[in-house]
Amino acid sequence: MAFDITINGAPHPVRASFAVHDPATGGIAGDAPNADLADLDRAVAAAREAFPGWARTPDADRQQACRAIARALGDHAEELAQILTREQGKPLNGLGSRWELGGAQAWAAATAELPLAPKVIQDDASGRVVLYRKPLGVVGSITPWNFPVMIAVWHILPALRSGNTVVIKPSPLTPLATLRLVQLMNGLLPPGVVNIVTGDDRDVNLGAAMAAHPDIRKIVFTGSCATGQKVMQAAAPTMKRLTLEMGGNDAGIVLPDADPAAIAEGLFWGAFINNGQTCAAMKRLYVHDSIHDAVCDALVAFARQIPVGPGLDEGSILGPVQNRMQFDKLSHLVADAAAKGRVLLGGAPGEGLFFPPTIIAGLQNGDPLVDQEQFGPALPVIRYHDLDEAIRAANDSPNGLGGSIWTGDPEAARALALRLECGSVWINAHGAIRPDVPFGGVKQSGLGVEFGEEGLAEYTDLQAVFG
């Protein structure tokens, strides 16, 4: 499997390529072009040239383009899901590749319908003031390896809808489905509106070059906190607009009135969606002493029935960890936690990049598996006695992406939600995002939001016209 990069509506030849590995087998999933800085400059120049025409295109036509992309995602869902499973490892089934394609289609369709009309502040005999949302120019999108297709859609569609043009650069670990996605989009858009470059991040770091590029007006970045900080530094001299969606260490808090059997499934998927390789997955679970053991038993019983195996097997519900670096980090954190706490499930690496769902109790803040973002299938459980203590421990993190409260009394939990320092709080669920609700992190989890009217606004300059 090999795809070209697309620049100015056409395949662009790149001499070198790099291998993309299949995490389930360790074999080669395909090859991707190893673009250089000159290729990036060509892509940015094409996007820059396409910008005035696309910015002038009526919003109704841009809405139609978003709807057409949503349909194409539906028509090509199975093809893209197969590519995604081979390069990312996630199963076709469960909350895997087919589900990701369904999400991508839904997000594209919803982005077409977001409000973008000018806002009239005043319109009477004494004066008129109207706020306009104007596109920025070339948007650079930098995506990670956990949800490559869905995140590409999260970045590209609002950029297009609001009249910008795009250069996207996927992770070197998962570039293939995005290369194909951009080919498909180019069948529906004028040349240069969406361009893609891929590279292996070895001799040339295309993402770093994008963050510093003088002709890119905004970077939308999803990835680790460390890289997000580098993007912010590199973007400073050109005062780029930034949306940074970075790491999280989301806490879940189970209150004494929760029903362990009723919440076990939600807790499991809150933590183990995409094998825990999800920014807003639940990465630590605080459980009240009075129901601690019952919650652990129910969670372990649910987790035991989940089939883990190669993503292409129709029976697999969880697959391998995506890459060796992540696998080693996870193995290290789990080995440390296993020595300090009580392993309730899993606890040791499997074959290749497979790691079984792991649940470890008896841990506390200060333990590395609790304090650090594991980004894998391992959940630490922390026993608490006093709710104030649990909230303090949940907030004791430089991150603040999401959080959840599990309870029989959702009304009371709404007041508690406001005490959590994070961008989203779910009650009796975790990680349930929607295209019409802004999503983003506080503290070091990011800058700005995606989704909804507020997310769309981040792809625009605000202009006030008086009179």
Catalog residues that contact ligand NAD under the rule CB under 6 A.
142-146, 169, 171-172, 201, 205, 207-208, 211, 222-224, 227, 230-231, 245-248, 279, 373, 375, 401, 441, 446
**Residue placing its CB nearer to ligand NAD in the complex, 211 or 300:** 211
Q: Are strands 28-33 and 127-135 parallel, antiparallel or unpaired?
A: unpaired
**Least distance in angstroms from the C-beta of 60 to ligand NAD:** 30
Residues 6+ apart with CB under 8 A from 446: 228, 243, 244, 245, 246, 401, 423, 440
**Residue 20: strand pairing partners:** 30
CA-to-CA distance for 53 and 279, rounded, in angstroms? 36
**Residue placing its CB nearer to ligand NAD in the complex, 149 or 361:** 149
Which tokens is 296 given? 């652990």
C-alpha separations of 331 from 93, 145, 316, 376 in Å:
26, 19, 22, 9
**Least distance in angstroms from the C-beta of 467 to ligand NAD:** 41
Residues 6+ apart with CB under 8 A from 73: 80, 101, 104, 105, 108, 153, 181, 184
CA-to-CA distance for 449 and 91, rounded, in angstroms? 29
**Least distance in angstroms from the C-beta of 297 to ligand NAD:** 29
**Residue placing its CB nearer to ligand NAD in the complex, 33 or 247:** 247
**Least distance in angstroms from the C-beta of 245 to ligand NAD:** 3
**Least distance in angstroms from the C-beta of 28 to ligand NAD:** 19
**Least distance in angstroms from the C-beta of 171 to ligand NAD:** 4
User: SS3 of 427, please?
Assistant: strand
Residues 6+ apart with CB under 8 A from 15: none
- What's 26's DSSP letter? S
Overall residue count recorded for the chain in this entry: 467
Active-site amino acid positions: 245, 279
**Residue placing its CB nearer to ligand NAD in the complex, 260 or 452:** 452
User: SS3 of 141, please?
Assistant: strand
How many Cβ atoms are within 10 Å of 308's Cβ, its own excluded?
Answer: 18
**Residue placing its CB nearer to ligand NAD in the complex, 186 or 323:** 323
**Residue placing its CB nearer to ligand NAD in the complex, 224 or 364:** 224
Question: DSSP states of 71-100 as a string?
Answer: HHHHHTHHHHHHHHHHHH---SSSSSHHHH
**Least distance in angstroms from the C-beta of 124 to ligand NAD:** 43
Whether the CA torsion 200, 201, 202, 203 is positive or negative: it is positive
**Residue placing its CB nearer to ligand NAD in the complex, 227 or 407:** 227
* Residue located via tokens 């193995």: 331
**Residue placing its CB nearer to ligand NAD in the complex, 394 or 422:** 422
C-alpha separations of 351 from 174, 203, 276, 383 in Å:
21, 31, 18, 32
The amino acid present at 31, given as its one-letter code, is D
**164-176: string of b/e by CB count within 10 Å (b at 16+)?**
bbbbbbbbbbbbb
The amino acid present at 103, given as its one-letter code, is G
CA-to-CA distance for 143 and 155, rounded, in angstroms? 8
Whether the CA torsion 232, 185, 199, 27 is positive or negative: it is positive
**Least distance in angstroms from the C-beta of 281 to ligand NAD:** 9
**Least distance in angstroms from the C-beta of 353 to ligand NAD:** 15
**Residue 287: strand pairing partners:** 254, 383
**Residue placing its CB nearer to ligand NAD in the complex, 171 or 407:** 171
